[in-house]
Structure 1
C-alpha cells in the first residue's frame, strides 16, 4: 500500500473516530481546511475521506457543505431492526464457537463495567467494546464486517440510550444473561437475550426522543 493510500485511510479512520466520539455531532459542518489542520495532513486525503463517508451516508450535503448526517425516526427503527437480526445471529454463533478465554473476557468486562453505571458516556464506550467482543466471538468474519457497518451508523446518534435513568444497570444485567447463555452453549437463549437487550435499548432511545420533543414544545 503506498503512502498516499495509507494517509487517506488514516484520515478516514480519524474523522470516523471523531464522529463516534461525539467531537462532530449530527448537523455539524466538516470543512476540509479545518480538518487538514486538525489532523496534520494535506487536503487531498481529507477530501477523499469525506467522499467515502458521504458514500456511506455518514455525511450529507447541505448546499455546498458536508455535514454529519442524522437519523430520522424511521431510519432509527430500521437500523435497530437490522442490528437485532445481525447481533442475534452473532450471539447464536458465539454460543457455538466462543472459546473459554473469550467467555472469561466477556465476564471480566461486565464486572469492570459495574463501576461505570453512573457515567453514561463511559459506559457507552465500554458497551461498544463489549458488543464488539460478542461479534468477534461469533468467529464469522463476514458477519463482523456487516456489524461494523451497522455500528458505524450508530455513531450518528447524538445521545446514548444509557442516559435513561436505570438503563445502565439494566443493560449490564442483560449482558450477564447473554454471556450466561453463551457460556452454556445455548444458541437460542443467546439469540433471545441479545434481541431482548436491543429491544430494551431501542425503547430507552425512543424515551429520550420523546423527552427531547417535550422540551422543545409544540
Structure 2
C-alpha cells in the first residue's frame, strides 16, 4: 500500500506528468524498494486508469477528448448523487454546523488560491472541496469511485484553471451548491453539482478539440 501511494502521488502531483514513460528500475531506485512491490503497485495503478503498459515499464495515461468527456459524465452523475445525499442528511439533521463551516472553508481556500494565481494550490483545494462533499455523503463506494476519477482528471487537465473566466465562475458554482446543501434541498443540490461538473467538462473538452 505504501509503495502504491508513493507512486500514485508522483503521478497525481505532477512529478511524472501525463505521457511520461516510467520504468520499474527508476521507481525502485527512487523509492529504495525491490521490484515486487513496484510491480504490484503499477498493476493497481493500471487498473485505476493512471498508467498503461509500455515496452520498458509503463506510461502515465493522458486522456483524449472522448475519454475525458466520458469520465466527466461519470463524475457529474456521481457528484450529483453525493450532493443529493449530503443535502438529505442536512435536511434530516444529521450534519453538524461545523461540517458545513468546514465545507465553506474548503471553498474559500480554493477561491483564494486560484485568484492569487497559485493554480497548483487551487486545484488541490478544489479537489478537497469536492471530496469533502463526497465524504459528508457517507457512501464509501461512491467516494472510492470518485477518487479514481479525480486522479485521472487531475493528471490529464493540470492547467484547467488557467482559463481566464473560469475561476470566478467556479466559486459562484461552489457557493450555490453550499447554499442548496445548507438549506437541505436534495434535488437542487444535485442539479447544481451536475451543472458545475458539466460546465467544467465543456471548457476542457472544447480546449482539447481546438488543439
Q: What is the TM-score normalised by the length of structure 2? A: 0.90
Cα distance, 1:90–1:148 mapped onto 2, change above 3 Å: same
Task: Specify which of 91, 104, 111 is matched with residue 101 of structure 2.
Answer: 104
Deviation at residue 21 of structure 1 after TM alignment: 0.4
Cα offsets for 1:99-119 (capped at 9, x unmatched): 122111011222233321222
CA contact (8 A) 2:83 2:193 kept: yes
Query: Structure 1: which 5+ runs fail to align?
Result: 1-8, 214-218
| RCO higher in structure (CA 8 A, sep ≥6) | 2
Deviation at residue 144 of structure 1 after TM alignment: 1.4
Separation of aligned partners in 1, 2:182 and 2:50: 36
Aligned to 1:31: 23
Separation of aligned partners in 1, 2:206 and 2:121: 20
Deviation at residue 55 of structure 1 after TM alignment: 3.0
The answer to whether the aligner puts 1:52 opposite 2:44 as a matched pair is yes
Deviation at residue 130 of structure 1 after TM alignment: 0.5
Q: Secondary structure at the match of 2:52?
A: strand
The answer to whether the aligner puts 1:14 opposite 2:1 as a matched pair is no
Q: Which moved more, 1:158-167 or 1:67-76?
A: 158-167
The answer to whether the aligner puts 1:86 opposite 2:78 as a matched pair is yes
Q: Which moved more, 1:168-177 or 1:39-48?
A: 39-48
Q: Secondary structure at the match of 2:59?
A: strand
Cα distance, 1:47–1:149 mapped onto 2, change above 3 Å: same
Q: What is the TM-score normalised by the length of structure 1? A: 0.87
Alignment of 1:153-192 (within 5 A): 153-192=152-191
Q: Write out the 4+ residue segments of structure 1 that deviate beyond 6 Å after TM superposition.
A: none
CA contact (8 A) 2:103 2:132 kept: yes
* C-alpha RMSD over aligned residues: 1.6
CA contact (8 A) 1:26 1:69 kept: yes
Aligned to 1:199: 198
Cα offsets for 1:117-162 (capped at 9, x unmatched): 2222221111011111000010112221222222232233142421
Q: Secondary structure at the match of 1:66?
A: strand
Work out the number of aligned pairs and report it: 204
Aligned to 1:3: none
Cα distance, 1:113–1:27 mapped onto 2, change above 3 Å: closer
